[in-house]
Amino acid sequence: MPGRDDDELRRMTDALDRLFFHRCIGGLKSMPLMTCLLLASPHPYDTHSRPFGPLQEKTSMDRYLVYMKHFLSYCLSVLSLEEEVLFADHGFRFTHAQRVGLEQLWAHLQDEEQSSKGLQEQILQILADFWMQRLDGDPFASPLWHFVGMLGINGETGQLLVTND
Residue 115 has pLDDT above 90, yes or no: no
How many residues are given for the chain?
165
pLDDT of residue 111: 87
User: Hey, how many other C-beta atoms are within 10 angstroms of the C-beta on 34?
Assistant: 10
**Residue 124: which of 1, 2, 8, 27 has the closest Cα?**
27
pLDDT at 159 over 50: yes
- Tens of pLDDT, residue by residue over 4-60, are 558 898 999 999 998 888 887 778 888 899 988 998 888 888 999 988 887 778 887
CA–CA dist 82, 87 (Å, integer): 9
* pLDDT of amino acid 152: 67
pTM over 0.85: no
Give the pLDDT mean for 66-87.
92
Distances (CA, A) of 146 to 1, 89, 114: 20, 12, 31
Higher pLDDT, 154 or 149: 149
